[in-house]
Structure 1
């Protein structure tokens, strides 16, 4: 009787062990299949089109890594950007953006337009961004186009941009008039304590790259991926 019970116990344990092995094997196969699938996908191509807030931003690698982890596919972020430039320069660079054939375009060109010494009027800035958006929509009809407002300005760099909010508003209006997307990063920056914000943007204009990565990348991942992150 004892021998029979022992034999039954051994059989049950063997079945459980076999089931566990099978489960682990299935999970392993799922992981391999998912990874192989991700490796077989073409990268999601993003072009960041902007000023020094893009050229010197340093947030692009974080966006690549976080969005790739979220979507389970490769992501490549390239930049067409130049410090000190305005939307007038941007008009001459549309061909470069189109040549990249991006899936997503991130655009910010209000900051230097708003600087008094650049002499780009509000009306001219509005016309320029409208022309840029029209060209991109026409030539890249499948691309998502996202106009952005970046970080706040302070100190001298804020003083020379007294109407920057108006420039942001007209760029936002031109995007929305065309049914395009707009992401405003300023509220996330303004959640920092005043001393932390000053330390994060020491020159009053250009955030430290590591802080910019923590502020900008998650917001863009949330906006681009929606509720798909982690699935």
Structure 2
């Protein structure tokens, strides 16, 4: 006959050891199960839609890494962007964005509209972004759409965009009119000292990729994932 010793009769030290072993075993099993579940999830698809601030931005890998860590699932960011182009070009690229079937669309399309030599009026820019947003909402009703303002401009690149704030405001208004989100990254850039800002954006318009990753990606991670992610 096998005699089972009552659990309470086991010495306290031995009980503690057994309970700790059981706890850590459960923790390992939970972690493995969670990791396996995360790996089985399809990637979160994001399309970054914009100008050279996206095409040359360099912040996309940091967004993938940070967001994946927060959400515990794969994240893939694809760019539909071209340097020097305006919202008129973007109207011809909506099919490409839709074809990617993204879960989230990040949009910045005001920067070149605002340059004097491209002759895109404020009214035209506002109409274009409105048309783009309408098409995306109609064709991708489940997608989360976030319109963005990027970094401040300076030097000659700033001088040729004297009314850029008005273009930003117009795009923000069109987004908010449709119940869409708007993220303004400029305030985070402007927390840098003047010297640091000049170093971070040496040509007055295109941030260094490492600095763009530090400024833009965490803000987007927090906005998309919530729960204090990105801090």
Higher helix share: 1
- Deviation of 1:176 (Å): 0.5
Contiguous gaps of at least 5 residues in structure 2: 1-7
Pair 1:152-2:125 in alignment: no
**1:115-139: per-residue Cα shift (whole Å, max 9, x none)?**
1111111111000000000000000
| Aligned equivalents of 1:72, 1:153: Cα separation in 2 | 36
3-state SS of 1:227 partner: coil
| Aligned equivalents of 1:25, 1:167: Cα separation in 2 | 57
Report matched runs for 1:71-150 at 5 Å: 71-150=71-150
Report matched runs for 1:202-213 at 5 Å: 202-213=202-213
3-state SS of 2:213 partner: helix
| Aligned equivalents of 2:119, 2:93: Cα separation in 1 | 20
| Aligned equivalents of 1:188, 1:138: Cα separation in 2 | 32
Name the counterpart of 1:11.
11
TM-score by structure 2 length?
A: 0.94
3-state SS of 2:151 partner: coil
- Deviation of 1:14 (Å): 2.3
- Deviation of 1:182 (Å): 0.3
- Deviation of 1:11 (Å): 3.4
| Aligned equivalents of 2:173, 2:15: Cα separation in 1 | 65
- Deviation of 1:228 (Å): 6.5
**1:36-75: per-residue Cα shift (whole Å, max 9, x none)?**
1100111111000000000000000000000111111111
Name the counterpart of 1:4.
none
- Deviation of 1:225 (Å): 1.4
| Aligned equivalents of 2:187, 2:76: Cα separation in 1 | 27
TM-score by structure 1 length?
A: 0.94
The runs of 4+ residues in structure 1 deviating greater than 4 Å are none
Contiguous gaps of at least 5 residues in structure 1: 1-7
| Aligned equivalents of 1:228, 1:202: Cα separation in 2 | 31
Residues 71, 228 of structure 1: 8 Å contact kept: no
- Deviation of 1:10 (Å): 8.2
Count of residues paired in the alignment: 223
**1:124-178: per-residue Cα shift (whole Å, max 9, x none)?**
1000000000000000000000000000000000000000000000000000010
Name the counterpart of 2:59.
59
| Aligned equivalents of 2:219, 2:23: Cα separation in 1 | 37
